[in-house]
Structure 1
Amino acid sequence: MQDNDKTTTPPQETFEVVEAEQRTGARHKGVYLLPNLFTTGALFAGFYAIVAAMNGLFENAALGIIVAGILDGMDGGVARLTNTQSKFGAEYDSLSDCVAFGVAPGLVAYSWALSGLGKFGWMAAFIYVACAALRLARFNVQAESTDKRFFIGLPSPTGAGLVATMVWLGASRGIEGSDVSWLVAFMVAGAGLLMVSSVKYHSFKEFHIGRVPFKVLLGVIIAFAIVFLDPPLVLLSAAVIYVVVGLMMSLWHLRKGVGA
């Protein structure tokens, strides 16, 4: 009788464990709402930028891309603060970025300035879109293996901001895109190629939001005031400086390595 008890007990316990796991798994199915709301907002802003550009509202289109960048910067922080990171959220964020920072800037630039260049125009826009998609795919693959202090290649939100603020500045000044079409084509294609380059750009991820000295808060207030003096000009200048500094640092390190 004792032997029979030993042979029948384990299957019963195993069945109960599996049944409990199935009940637990079913109970926890779903996605985290708060961070994915920010991601959805960024996706909507990118979609709005495309629609606005199709209707000739280029300032609104540029603002849509800028708003997408702000929301994209917030969703990851919200997920970490609320401990709601998930693989679904990471994949959804990447797809949203492809629309907001890849397709939208390319189409906005094409609608504003590149359509008059014919094949060269859509080629420049497509180079940007394709490079943005490749940049995001490479980032997803290398995210766990690279130095968190630096991005390899120009970050897609910065590339999108460069294109968006260029369109915003031109549209706000009454400049016709057709008058600067070749410059826009160079900037758009160049931003795309920088995204898939090996140039290192500082990520500033070592700086965390928390208790900071009073001088830091004062500096942030002054920075906001400067931006609001002329938002498109200041933001475009900041994007260009970020791009140039990254290029100069990479050239300096390359020259230093060759000299050594």
Structure 2
Amino acid sequence: MSPNPSDPSSDFQDSDLDALAAPVRKPRKGLYVLPNLFTLAALFGGFYAIVMAMNGRYENAAIGIFCAMVLDSLDGRVARMTGTQSAFGEQMDSLSDMVSFGAAPALVAYEWALKDLGKLGWIAAFVYCACAALRLARFNTNIGVIDKRFFQGLPSPAAAALVAGSLWLAVDAGWTVESHPWLSFAMVGITLYAGLTMVTNAPFYSFKDFSLKRSVPFALLVALVLLIALVSSHPPIALFALFCCYSVSGYAEYARRKWKGRHASLIATSTDEPDEAGLHG
């Protein structure tokens, strides 16, 4: 028999009645500090690059963009490893990417080599910035309908590294726009190529299936050691060459798929179209 709350001899106390009547409180939704701290650090790298370019310190500007790229690659991994993913973090990451890999490279390139070309210079910088925005918007809307092993178009950090790497290489070699006027036109070509490649359908390998917990062949570890040694020997040349190769790898993969008669585009606009099999997990 259940106890009667009105019976004085009952085991029910006033505090028990208050506890039953009190509404259940939902857990408070907060913001995770650790992954957002990496995102803010990446945002600072892009902002730092803009400030350095405004002060004529272009080598520091290029280094700031590369540091932002490294930090941006860590925030998502840290969030997944610690179980701190959030919708806020995803939006924050996109806004940070737009500054660090959209606006910053365009403004740095404009300050260094494009502003003396007049309309051609600022148009090239704007095309890059606009393509970065389009690429990020497309990435956010196609997350659920795309093969996660590949990026659709050149990822914005790699595009920024291509622009910043070319600038860093020229500055390290002691080249200036005044002594080498062709640098301005070369930067126009690199900026337009990086920007337009971001909005192509070419598949670029994402490295998302690479796991630190998975066993790998011994030869791969040796290759990583050689890569680290190569980059550390002369970062401007090595990084620029590395991202040049990566920026054309997507077109090579696209041509390979076409040659084999396979579906070359990664985009899927609907989950029930027959030729989109394999794109939906």
TM range (shorter): 0.7 to 0.9
Post-superposition CA distance 1:137-160 (Å, at most 9, x none):
100000111000111010001000
Provide closer, same or farther for how the CA distance between residues 65 and 16 of structure 1 changes in structure 2, counting only shifts above 3 A: farther
Structure-1 residue corresponding to 2:129: 129
Structure-2 residue corresponding to 1:185: 188
* Distance in 1 (alpha carbons) for counterparts of 2:136 and 2:81: 24
3-state DSSP of counterpart to 2:151: strand
* Distance in 2 (alpha carbons) for counterparts of 1:67 and 1:97: 13
* Distance in 2 (alpha carbons) for counterparts of 1:66 and 1:42: 9
* Distance in 2 (alpha carbons) for counterparts of 1:29 and 1:80: 18
Provide closer, same or farther for how the CA distance between residues 257 and 219 of structure 1 changes in structure 2, counting only shifts above 3 A: closer
Q: How many residues align?
A: 241
For residue 205 of structure 1, report the CA deviation from its aligned partner: 1.1
For residue 249 of structure 1, report the CA deviation from its aligned partner: 2.1
Bigger Rg over Cα: 2
2:153–2:250 CA contact under 8 A, matched in 1: no
1:90 aligns with 2:116: no
Counterpart mapping for 1:129-148 below 5 A: 129-148=129-148
For residue 16 of structure 1, report the CA deviation from its aligned partner: 5.1
3-state DSSP of counterpart to 1:201: strand
1:120 aligns with 2:123: no
1:251 aligns with 2:255: yes
3-state DSSP of counterpart to 2:210: coil
Structure-1 residue corresponding to 2:26: 24
Structure-1 residue corresponding to 2:176: 176
Structure-1 residue corresponding to 2:69: 69
What is the identity percentage for the equivalent residue pairs of Structure 1 and Structure 2? 50
Q: TM-score, normalised by structure 2?
A: 0.81
1 or 2, which has the higher helix percentage?
Answer: 1
For residue 215 of structure 1, report the CA deviation from its aligned partner: 4.3
Counterpart mapping for 1:199-214 below 5 A: 199-210=202-213, 212-213=215-216, 214=218
3-state DSSP of counterpart to 1:184: helix
* Distance in 1 (alpha carbons) for counterparts of 2:124 and 2:131: 11
Post-superposition CA distance 1:156-204 (Å, at most 9, x none):
0100010111110011111113521111101101110110111111111
3-state DSSP of counterpart to 2:144: coil
* Distance in 1 (alpha carbons) for counterparts of 2:99 and 2:229: 31
* Distance in 1 (alpha carbons) for counterparts of 2:115 and 2:165: 19
Provide closer, same or farther for how the CA distance between residues 112 and 16 of structure 1 changes in structure 2, counting only shifts above 3 A: farther
Q: TM-score, normalised by structure 1?
A: 0.88
Post-superposition CA distance 1:62-87 (Å, at most 9, x none):
00000000000000000000000000
For residue 245 of structure 1, report the CA deviation from its aligned partner: 2.0
For residue 256 of structure 1, report the CA deviation from its aligned partner: 4.2
Structure-1 residue corresponding to 2:79: 79
For residue 211 of structure 1, report the CA deviation from its aligned partner: 5.1
Where do 5+ consecutive residues of structure 2 fail to align? 1-16, 263-281
1:170–1:177 CA contact under 8 A, matched in 2: no
Structure-2 residue corresponding to 1:9: none
1:36–1:89 CA contact under 8 A, matched in 2: yes
Structure-1 residue corresponding to 2:59: 59
Q: Alignment RMSD, CA only?
A: 1.9
Q: Mean Cα displacement is larger for which, 246-255 or 224-233? A: 246-255
